Amino acid sequence: MSEAGIGVKEQEEVLELKPRVIDVKAQRYQYHWAPIRSLGKILNTGLYSEDFARRIGDADFERRFLDPHNVHVLEYSHQTYHFPLNEAIVMVIDMPQRELTSLRIGPSQFAGLMIPDERWLPDPPREGKGGLSDLKEILTLNREIDRLKLTKPFVLRRVRQVQGILEKEGRNTASLGIYGTSGDLYWPQKIKHDDIVKMLAEKK
């Protein structure tokens, strides 16, 4: 059935589905920073490169990275150099590290969404790789966060904004929770990152 053919009852059933709880900082995930104004489109069409946009005739594609061939994905959730934090959303992608380049990443590979909610610190090393080495960049981001005053009311307003977009898009978002870059889950329930890690460890 096409998306246009989804009835109201079916939409309600989709929205009642609960996202699975994940550790968004786990090594299996990669990250893509995007402007929040693009979230609705991304949830429906996925992420794709400039080359792919040209192929499908997307005249509204915004070029934000130098590589026209691949989607820009990151191994660390805190690496962002392109957006004011109050305009950013982070797509959490279920993607092995060996597949860091791709013409397109479909919505089925999205595992969750993240919003900035903490001061920046270097991420722990992955498989012998160092964390962020550019401390100047970290300090710059921390100053921006201080300027924005990412207080609890600010974060909750952003969560409600993203929640509204998820509910509007419905069908493609049933499995997506809203997390902070801290790893805390904010929606559909509130769980601290440490508790998520413990809960997932107990299920193994």
Which residues, 6+ apart, have CB-to-CB distance to 112 below 8 Å?
19, 22, 24, 92, 176, 177, 178, 179
The token duo for 123 is 């991420």
Q: Tell me, what's the pLDDT at 168?
A: 85
Q: Look at residue 3 and tell me if it is in a domain.
A: no
Note whether 142 and 121 are within 8 A (CB). Answer: no
Note whether 167 and 176 are within 8 A (CB). Answer: no
Say yes or no to pLDDT of 196 above 80: yes
- Our count of domains for the chain comes to 1
Q: Look at residue 95 and tell me if it is in a domain.
A: yes
Q: Look at residue 186 and tell me if it is in a domain.
A: yes
Q: Tell me, what's the pLDDT at 99?
A: 56
Q: Look at residue 114 and tell me if it is in a domain.
A: yes
Sheet of strand 185-187: strand arrangement: 29-35, 88-94, 110-115, 178-180, 185-187
For residue 67, count CB atoms less than 10 angstroms from its CB and return exposed for 0-12, middle for 13-18, buried for 19 or more: exposed
Q: Tell me, what's the pLDDT at 9?
A: 41
pTM, whole model, 2 decimals? 0.75
Say yes or no to pLDDT of 11 above 60: no
Say yes or no to pLDDT of 116 above 80: yes
> Residue 80: pLDDT band by 50, 70, 90 thresholds?
low
**Mean of all residue pLDDT scores within the chain:** 76
Q: Look at residue 184 and tell me if it is in a domain.
A: yes
Say yes or no to pLDDT of 10 above 70: no
Q: Look at residue 16 and tell me if it is in a domain.
A: no
Q: Look at residue 97 and tell me if it is in a domain.
A: yes
Please state, in angstroms and rounded to a whole number, the distance separating the CA atoms of residues 80 and 35: 11
User: How many Cβ atoms from other residues are within 10 Å of residue 178's Cβ?
Assistant: 22
Pairing of strands 88-94, 47-48: unpaired
Please state, in angstroms and rounded to a whole number, the distance separating the CA atoms of residues 188 and 18: 7
Q: Look at residue 2 and tell me if it is in a domain.
A: no
Tell me the per-residue pLDDT of 150-173, one tens digit each, with 9 for 90 and over.
667 878 888 999 999 988 876 667
> Residue 122: pLDDT band by 50, 70, 90 thresholds?
very low
User: How many Cβ atoms from other residues are within 10 Å of residue 58's Cβ?
Assistant: 14
Please state, in angstroms and rounded to a whole number, the distance separating the CA atoms of residues 180 and 51: 31
Range of the domain at 84: 23-203
| 52: helix, strand or coil | helix
The token duo for 35 is 């402007």
